Amino acid sequence: MASETYVDVLVIGAGPTGLGAAKRLNQLNEASWLLLDANEVPGGLASTDVTPEGFLYDVGGHVIFSHYKYFDDCLDEALPRAEDWYTHQRISYVRCKHNWVPYPFQNNISMLPKEEQVKCIDGMIDAALEARVSNTKPKDFDEWIVRMMGTGIADLFMRPYNYKVWAVPTTKMQCSWLGERVAAPDLKTVTKNVILQKTAGNWGPNATFRFPARGGTGGIWIAVAGTLPQDKLLFGAKGSVQAVDGDEKVVTTKDGNRIHFGKLISTMAVDSLAEKLGDDQLIGLTRQLYYSTTHVVGIGIRGERPQNIGDKCWLYFPEDNCPFYRATIFSNYSPNNQPGAGVKLPTLQKADGSGADSAEAKEGPYWSLMLEISESSMKPVNNSTLLADAIQGCVNTTLLGPDDEIVSTYHRRFDHGYPTPTLERDGVLKQVLPKLQDMDIYSRGRFGSWKYEVGNQDHSFMLGVEAVDSILHGATELTLNHSDFVNGRANVERRLVEGVREFGLKN
């Protein structure tokens, strides 16, 4: 029988953003609240699947690195033991011209063939000379690439790789989202490394990261949800949103229940929210937001990890000899991401597509690859051959040998994979988010606020935390509105973020 309920704050979605909001609501204990999710387990786009054979695969390449102490503390509360985590130094490479070039590519062109080094250095010199006289900002991502790195690096890596990731040309993307995500090369250092045949050191906020020992990334969010009052978390049919009435401020669930709210924090994709609201203006605006679809392909392999794989974490692929833009050696993150060596599994096929030598189930050891492939109207994929194409791509790029025994495969398509920072995005968001907030609806999260630059797990979690602080205390939402500030890597900046929230800085 349908029921009528009222809460001060209703949260839609049990991914990192929704759980961040719930965590803060529960901590402050100043408002009644409920959290809804149509899935049976929490995690959202940070969840983990397990194949029948026992291989784990995340929804894409997630690792834990943080800009926020509050986020760290919440995760440590959920998974408090040292043995709950593995800590890794990132070991990443770009596959280019039959070489493994250390990441970031633009700082390590010394690993390329000589003719490619010359093209890259020529382009960087031209870019440096142009920068001395230029007095305008780049108009798009493509122009930013050429100005910062030159045409050599642009044509060899940045343009093809980013097209494979975003599934749109770089000319259709803005560049204000970049921040710490793309390393700008230093011409003197790069030239010195080329002459001395040296490589540059690790760069970026995820140079060191941690990963849960068990359950994959999804295990983190199941544990975080476990720290909350279970009677306030509604999953499945009870948590599936059928419609949102912005005028009456009520959400109707799939099982017919009506939940009235004072404020709503929605983490569903904002284009989906517009449809649930039935608001023609919002629907028209959100249709101008662009996104790519992500295919995650998993391959479980019998045997010892090959020497050329070693301790690599994730690898980038700009060239067209494989459909994926990134491969993660997922078995390297935790020994529990694949079955134990004593588990007996039959061989499904060899990597070259030929059949198994025997139907007999055999023991391991095992290791695994997780591949990501993007799709859009500008970059279609053939779903019927995608798995076979991905396996062949692994052979083409030496990730797999032709005779490697594949014992498990996985393929899942995630319609909303990457929120694309197109040229039109910010203009649309400046209309959509305030219009929703006028209805007391806070649309937040990777696709709720549609800002890739604050779309990592730590950012997403804090978008929910800060939305609650804004609702209850009028505090500034730093992550949503000041991405350059929160993405500062120094610890002092992280403490400032915590201090601002603690003392409730007003708008």
pLDDT in tens, 207-248: 788 899 999 999 999 999 999 999 999 999 999 999 999 999
Residues 218 and 79 in one domain: yes
Q: Do both 252 and 304 map to the same domain?
A: no
Same domain, 484 and 498: yes
Inside any domain, residue 322: yes
Domain end, chosen from 163, 196, 229, is at 196
295 shares a domain with 283: no
pLDDT for the residue 1? 63
Q: What is the mean pLDDT of residues 122-127?
A: 91
Q: Which of 86-90, 131-135, 207-211, 265-269 has the lowest mean pLDDT?
A: 131-135
Residue with more model confidence, 432 or 311: 432
Report the DSSP pairing between strands 441-443 and 258-266. parallel
Residues whose CB falls within 8 Å of the CB of residue 442, separated by 6 or more in sequence, listed in order: 263, 264, 265, 266, 436, 467, 470, 471
How far apart CA 102 and CA 81 sit, in angstroms, is 33
User: Are residues 220 and 78 part of one domain?
Assistant: yes
> Can you tell me which residue has the tokens 């959100």?
286
Percent of the chain with pLDDT over 70: 93
**Which two tokens mark 125?**
């010199």
Closest CA to 312 of 51, 61, 57: 61
Q: Is residue 283 assigned to a domain?
A: yes
In whole numbers, what is the pLDDT of the chain averaged over residues?
91
Do 367 and 427 belong together in one domain?
Answer: no
The pLDDT value recorded for residue 8 is: 98
Find the range with the poorest average confidence among 60-64, 108-112, 153-157, 487-491: 487-491
Co-location of 314 and 414 in the same domain: yes
Helix H or strand E segment including 406: strand 405-419
Find how far residue 289's CA is from the centre of its chain: 18
Tens of pLDDT along 433-446? 999 999 999 999 99
pLDDT at position 501, please? 38
- Residues 227, 189 share a domain: no
pLDDT of the residue at 183: 57
- Asked if the structure places residue 52 within a domain, the reply is no
Vertex 13 angle, CA 10 and 17, to 5°: 95
| pLDDT band with cut points at 50, 70 and 90 for residue 63 | confident
Residue 268 has pLDDT above 50, yes or no: yes
Condensed to tens digits (0 to 9), the pLDDT of residues 399-424 reads 999 999 999 999 999 999 999 999 99
Amino acid 130: pLDDT: 84
Whole-number pLDDT of residue 507: 33
Q: Is residue 96 part of a domain?
A: no
Residue 314: which of 9, 91, 28 has the closest Cα? 91
For residues 409 and 443, membership in a common domain is answered with: no
Instruction: List 64's β-bridge partners, or say none.
Output: 210
* 348 and 428 belong to one structural domain: no
Q: In this structure, is residue 99 part of a structural domain?
A: no
Domain count, the chain: 3
As a whole number of angstroms, the distance between CA 30 and CA 232 comes to 15
- Does pLDDT of 489 surpass 60? no
Q: For position 27, which CATH number holds?
A: 3.50.50.60
Pair 463, 478: CB distance under 8 Å: no
| CATH number of residue 328's parent domain | 3.90.660.20
In tens, the pLDDT along 129-163 reads 887 787 788 899 999 999 888 999 999 999 999 99
Assigned domain for 124 exists: yes
Residue 202 confidence (pLDDT): 55
| Contact assessment for residue 259 and residue 251, using Cβ atoms and an 8 Å cutoff | yes
| Per-residue confidence (pLDDT) for residue 225, from 0 to 100 | 98
pLDDT of residue 2: 75
pLDDT at residue 198 in the model: 73
Q: Cβ neighbours of residue 303 under 8 Å, at least 6 residues apart?
A: 364, 365, 366, 367, 404, 405
At 494, is the pLDDT very low, low, confident or very high (cuts 50, 70, 90)? Answer: very low
DSSP string, 97-127: TTEEEESSGGG-GGGS-HHHHHHHHHHHHHH
How far apart (Å, rounded) are the C-alpha atoms in residues 77 and 227?
A: 8
301, 377: one domain: yes
Instruction: Give the pLDDT confidence score for residue 357 in this predicted structure.
Output: 92
Q: Is residue 89 part of a domain?
A: no
The residues that bridge with 302 in the sheet, in sequence order, are 366, 405
Alpha helices in 227-323, H assignment, sequence order: 270-277, 280-286
| Among 401, 419, 437, residue at a domain's last position | 419
- The first and second tokens of residue 265, run together, are 């924090």
pLDDT of 196: 77
Helix or strand (DSSP H, E) at 88: strand 85-89
In this predicted structure, what is the pLDDT of residue 190? 80
Residues 305 and 370 reside in one and the same domain: yes
Q: What pLDDT, on a 0 to 100 scale, did the predictor assign at position 194?
A: 81
Long-range contacts of 285-289 (CB under 8 A, 24+ apart): 285/428, 285/431, 285/432, 286/428, 286/432, 288/424, 288/428, 289/419, 289/420, 289/422, 289/424, 289/425, 289/428, 289/429, 289/450
Domain that holds residue 322: 291-419
User: Residue 504 has what pLDDT?
Assistant: 37
Higher pLDDT residue, 204 or 45?
45
Distance CA 8, CA 215 (A): 33
The residue among 134, 169, 196 that closes a domain is 196
Does residue 328 have a pLDDT over 90? yes
Read off the tokens for 486. Answer: 């929160």
Mean pLDDT, rounded, for 166-173 = 96
pLDDT tens by residue, 347-404:
999 999 999 999 999 999 999 999 999 999 999 999 999 999 999 999 999 999 999 9
Q: Is the pLDDT of residue 487 over 90?
A: no
Position 143 in a domain:
yes
- Residue 444 — φ and ψ, nearest 5°? -135, 155
